[in-house]
Chain A
Amino acid sequence: MRIPQLDRRVLYLLLALVVSIPLLVNVPLPPPAITPPTKSFYETIETVSTDPKTKDKLVIISCNFGSGTLAENLSQLEATLNHIVSKRMKFAIFAFNDPQGRDLGGSTAQRIADKAGYKYGEDWVNWGFRPPQGIQSLLKAMVNDLHGALGTDVKGTKLSTIPVMANYKKADDVGLIIEFAAADTVKYWVQFFQRAGTTPIATLFCPTSVMANEAYPMLETGQLQGMLVGLKGANEFETVMKRPGFATRASASLSYSHLLIILLIILGNVGMIQDRKRQQGATK
């Protein structure tokens, strides 16, 4: 039986079905294996939140993603914020690559913080968005003077007047940096902020799956202490936290769409081999 070359519209229809059905209907899926980057991500937060040297320090949650990568980055952000608030750590939302990060990060933080009984200004703050062009000099200035460099929060209130920021004035007062990004923005933290104080700051990265490839070298060298790789990483983290969310539901779509692609590749190759044999037969 000859396998025909499939029209791309057929491929798109198949993918649409495979992605949407698991989101509408509960499709069974085995639990994911927890990979080492996710394990380290979890353990780093646990360690920072219990170590006497770091547990009272600020956590910077840098949200550099837009609505395009919501499925991955927002799932990661929700799972991580749930962990942070469960450890009663103070955090600051920040964005410098995509202004949508300020809104998406801020609204997610508001929702999760309200549920956890956190108060804005006392337990968490949103530093808002700063333009990417000046981020290098901003981060350098933040090392010694967070209040002066950042100025105000997203609502226009001076940071020096916000109660939660009273004890956090420089890089040494930061205990953890978590970067959520669709680009390689973590390099700015690693280059200009992470080791600029007297002690290095633990840094975690939550990229999209595509950007994770570039971050693996940093994980290997110890510049990053953990990583959640895309939607899969968010799913693993929700499994570790025993708190299933969107990532757990969407991982079925992810799994079956991967299987579809592999199946289509096999079909395509079988069709190609059949065509080659037919051509060889015709020339003989």
Chain B
Amino acid sequence: MNHATWPARVILIVISAVIVWTVIAAQRGKKLFIRRIPGLTAIDEAVGRAVEMGRGILLSSGLGGIDVVTLQALAICTNIASAAARYGTKVQMPIYEAALLPIAEDAISSAYNKAGRSDAFSSDDVRYLSNQQFAYAAGVAGMIQREQYAATFLFGTFFAESLIMAENANMVGAIQVAGTPSTTQIPFFIASCDYVIIGDEYYAATAYLTRQPTLLGSMIGQDRVKIAILVTVMLGFLLTMVKLPLVKNLFEDKDMPAASYYSPAKGGK
């Protein structure tokens, strides 16, 4: 869709309005609840373990560019860095995207400042490795084997190299917490990491960690939208059972003559 159709316009504006409205309501003091997310609760445990073992922490914001996913990863990493800095634990953050380097450096430095440990921050700890997927993975694997981190946090966009980093961290006995919107990498993280944040929990992470009303409100707004989507799906499902369309061609998409080339599976449908 290069430009919005009328249904897309209406739906997107309504969704945005619901989210913004809930954020404003939260900022006005409304109390909001968020359920326990084990992976995020484990962050404190992981940082504590690193402090006890006297070993460092690795943060990775993944292989994305400067986009929503990576900025969210950076926000989570900043929270972790702040907690680690408070206890004097070394934090290192290899960077994939060169344009992210100054932003990440500033974020981690601010985290150290916030923890009152600005003297402990070294710009060498936030370093650019490579913008080639496997060169980055090799670099991170090398860092893990040399530094023997006690905890690794992998948040952001990941591809095939995710297992390289996670398994290497497992080899050195690090506790691992991972979260990614890349659904293809979730199984690999589940097999190799101790805690995994799946799907929408990724975007709820900062709300969970900071309990900021703005972020909590945004999350509640998201939940309301998802409930509306769920209701629509259920309604469509029920109407399809009685062979009634929900609304004919709601999104006015062109008919796809080539779809007739695809023949349904035998035995599966």
A contact residues vs B (CB 8 Å cutoff): 8, 35-36, 39-40, 43-44, 47-48, 66, 68-69, 133, 140, 143, 182-183, 191-192, 195-196, 199-203, 208, 210-211, 213-214, 219, 222-226
Contacts and interface: CB of A to CB of B under 8 A. Distances in A.
Given A199-B257, A222-B262, A226-B262, A211 B134 contact: no
B257 A214 contact: no
A17 to B, nearest CB: 20
Contacts of A39: 263
A85 to B, nearest CB: 20
B124 interface: no
Binding site secondary structure of chain A = helix
Binding site secondary structure of chain B = loop
A182 B1 contact: no
Contacts of B159: 182-183
B133 A225 contact: no
B10 to A, nearest CB: 20
Contacts of A213: 183-184
B242 interface: no
B241 interface: no
B247 interface: no
Contacts of A225: 258-259, 261-262
B207 to A, nearest CB: 26
Contacts of A140: 2
B244 to A, nearest CB: 20
A23 to B, nearest CB: 21
Interface of B: 1-2, 65, 133-134, 159-160, 171, 183-184, 253-259, 261-266, 268
Contacts of A133: 65
Nearest to A46: B261
Contacts of A68: 133-134, 160
B154 to A, nearest CB: 17
21 contacts: A8-B171, A36-B263, A39-B263, A40-B262, A43-B261, A47-B261, A48-B258, A133-B65, A182-B159, A183-B159, A195-B256, A196-B2, A199-B254, A200-B255, A200-B256, A200-B257, A202-B261, A211-B184, A213-B183, A222-B256, A222-B262
Contact of A43 (B134, B184, B263, B268): B263
